[in-house]
Amino acid sequence: MRGSRPGSIRQNSALPVHAGAPASVRLFGCWVALLVGGPILAVLLRSAMEGMGAFRAIGSASASDAIFLSLWTSALAAAIHAAMGTAIAWWLVRWALPGRAWISRVVDLPLAVPTLVAGVVLVGLYGPQTLVGSSLAGLGLHIAFARPGIVLALLFVTLPFVVRAVEPVLRELDPAEEEAASSLGAGRWRTWRTVVLPAILPAIAAGSVQTFGRSLAEFGSIAAVSGNLPGKTLTASVYVLGEVEAGHPGDAAAVSALLLLLALALNPLGGVLVRFLGGRRG
Amino acid sequence: MAEARPTHGVEWAIAGAVVSFLGLVVVLPLISLVATVGRAPWEAVAGLSTGEAVNALGLSAAVAAIALAVNGVFGVVGGLALVRHRFPGRRLLDWLVDLPLAVSPVMTGLGFLLLFGRTGFLGPVLERLDVQVAFAVPGAIVATLFVTLPFTVREVALVAEEVGTVEEEVAATLGATAAQSFWRVTLPKIRHGVVLGVTLTVARALGEFGAVLVLGGAITNRTMTATTYIHAAIEGRQTSAGFGMALVLAATSVLLMSAVQRRTSR
């Protein structure tokens, strides 16, 4: 599932466009307003109806544990992908090694695999009853039904974001700058740190923010892999499901509204971060 | 800079890290799925030929087909609208179209439940009309329409922006009606975007889990989709049936996506 492309409707000013909205446009507007606006307003309204109860619901130990777990596992996934995604993009653009087409294909695979299936296959490999899982457990490392499994699932479903954000920037990078740096005596690492990294940092940040946002919203893979133990491996989205099933829609709405506001704040925050990192370059 | 092979030890270490990372996170888990099903293929086939598995797969296919038709049409209309028209609220509409990508599927299900559930905001209205959405097939459809909304709109908008409107203006000066211009000029021009968009829609529809679980209720033989079947099978220790269905779903989506990617990259 291709990620959102913020601001993708960039208008080429040479194209004539029609002012005003014909019937088809109004129909589409109504459809989106009902289909998307409806449920989202319902969650916000239901949460507002709770009044102060909404804050109590969010502040309860089990809810805040779940929200905190979602936040740090998502941040960890974003940090790991900031490094690994950049390395993968580097391989795709700069290294003439065999298997490049395969790596590109593997990077796109998670977009095609349903997220529940991603969780199921991780349990299939790292679950306690499998060869790999039981030998790792012997070493004291539990992956499935434990927190590492959550991070692994998030890494699976968000794999393409940093890679596909950094790759085009790396491709466009003017090699003259790097050559100039190295001809002035800068070593490889210094050239990379002072020339390449500042150029790709905004793209890394954009991809990482997307990874973080997608991870916060993730449900299917986590539901399968985490074991959903309250206070230990229960993430926010699974907690919301539990509240719905327990017949507490108000509490579910309150936690959902918080997650929604976080997700909505993320886009402008990410934009500021990307502009800051890009601006520093001069 | 010219492409090169890694020369430095550090570069080889990074290359090794990339291969092991992709192996551990994506490749080995997927291979283990194929291997697990392949070890006892007849068990998986037996599990998948039960009535509930067939019904679940059938419902998923039907829901995906509806999502394809509805969001295919709205995707073409919406993608063209966002690129070619200027109207008040266009930015808001653009933002709303992307929103399903940002919200948790559980929240989507909850939102519709708060609207259509028995105690929901529209519950009394639906009861009077004798229409059931929550815990019924319409719920699975609505949830899937929500999560698949952005794909065709985005792909069509991208292509529409690239191809411009020159041919349409030529068609108009030659006396073509708006309908003729749309069917004979615009639609062929944006064809690739439509095909890619509806494929992403179908893949996402087949794979949707959280929203259809919450709103549909995963009732066996009624609102159980392929994904909720996998979930129920694994919870119920029918691992071979669950893994079999997981393989069927993953293979279908991967084949769909790679077929389209190959076609559109040409």
Token pair recorded at residue A31: 């459809």
- B242 closest CB neighbour out of A5, A120, A236: A120
The reply to whether A4 falls in a domain is no
How far does B128 lie from chain A, in Å, by closest CA? 20
Q: What share of chain B is helix, strand, coil (3-state, %, to 5)?
A: 80, 0, 20
- Using a CB–CB cutoff of 8 Å, tell me whether A38 touches chain B: yes
- Does any CB of chain B come closer than 8 Å to the CB of residue A110? yes
Among A75-84, B56-65, B185-194, the minimum mean pLDDT is found in B185-194
Report the DSSP beta bridge partners of residue A95: B4
Contact between B114 and A42 using a beta-carbon 8 Å cutoff: yes
Ordered domains of chain B (ranges, CATH): 60-265 (1.10.3720.10)
Of A17, A88, A112, the CB nearest to B253: A112
**DSSP code of residue B86:** E
Nearest to A1 by CA among A149, A218, A235: A218
pLDDT exceeds cutoff 90 at B265: no
B239 or A70, greater pLDDT: A70
If one counts the domains in chain A, the total is 1
**Chain B contacts of A150, Cβ < 8 Å?**
none
**Residue-by-residue pLDDT tens, chain A, 282 positions:** 344 444 444 444 444 556 666 888 899 999 999 999 999 999 999 999 988 888 888 888 889 999 999 999 999 999 999 999 999 999 999 888 888 889 998 998 998 899 999 999 999 899 888 888 888 888 888 888 889 999 999 999 999 999 999 999 999 988 888 888 888 887 888 888 888 899 999 999 999 999 999 999 999 999 999 888 787 889 999 999 999 989 898 999 999 999 999 998 988 888 888 888 887 554
Decide: residue B5, CB within 10 A, 0-12 exposed, 13-18 middle, 19+ buried: exposed
Mean pLDDT of chain B, nearest integer: 90
Angle at A158 between CA B146 and CA A249, to 5 degrees: 45
**CB proximity under 8 Å: B 97-136 to A:** 97-115, 117, 119-121
Specify if A15 maps to a domain.
no
How far, in Å, CA of A149 to CA of A160, rounded? 19
User: Are the CB atoms for A256 and A240 separated by under 8 Å?
Assistant: yes
Contact A2 B87 (CB under 8 A): no
Residues 131-150 of A with CB under 8 A from B: none
> At A265, which CATH number?
1.10.3720.10
> DSSP characters for A19-77?
ES--HHHHHHHHHHIIIIIHHHHHHHHHHHHTTHHHHHHHHSHHHHHHHHHHHHHHHHH
* Chain B, window 133-172: residues with a beta carbon less than 8 angstroms from a chain A beta carbon: 142, 145-146, 149-151, 154, 157-158, 161, 164-165, 169
Q: With contacts defined as CB-CB under 8 Å, which chain B residues touch A25?
A: 77, 81, 85, 87
Residue B47 has a pLDDT of: 85
A37–B96: do the CB atoms touch at under 8 Å?
Answer: yes
Which B residues, 41 through 70, put their C-beta within 8 Å of a C-beta on chain A? none
Tell me whether residue A16 is in a domain: no
Identity of the residue numbered A259: L
Domain annotation covers residue A202: yes
pLDDT at position B231 is 92
Instruction: Identify the pLDDT of residue A281.
Output: 52
Q: What single-letter amino acid sits at A108?
A: D
Query: Which of these, B106, B125, B142, B133, lies nearest to A249 by C-alpha position?
Result: B106
> Band of the pLDDT at B2, cuts 50, 70, 90?
low
Closest residue, chain A, to B101 (C-alpha): A4
End-to-end alpha-carbon separation of chain A, Å? 34
Residue A265 and residue A78: Cα distance in Å, rounded?
Answer: 17
Structural domain boundaries, residue A30: 24-279
Would residue A2 count as lying in a domain?
Answer: no
DSSP at A184: T
Look at residue A271 and tell me if it is in a domain.
yes
Evaluate whether B209 touches B246 at the Cβ level (below 8 Å): no
Smallest CA–CA separation between B23 and chain A, in Å? 9
Q: Among partner residues B33, B85, B113, which is closest to A244 by beta-carbon distance?
A: B113
Mutate: best of A27, A32, A92, A266, partner B, most B CBs <10 A: A32
Find chain B residues with C-beta within 8 A of A173's C-beta: 1
In degrees, to the nearest 5, what angle opens at C-alpha A42 toward C-alphas A38 and A44?
Answer: 120
Report if residue A52 sits inside a domain. Answer: yes
Residue A14 lies in a domain: no
CA distance A56 to A63: 10
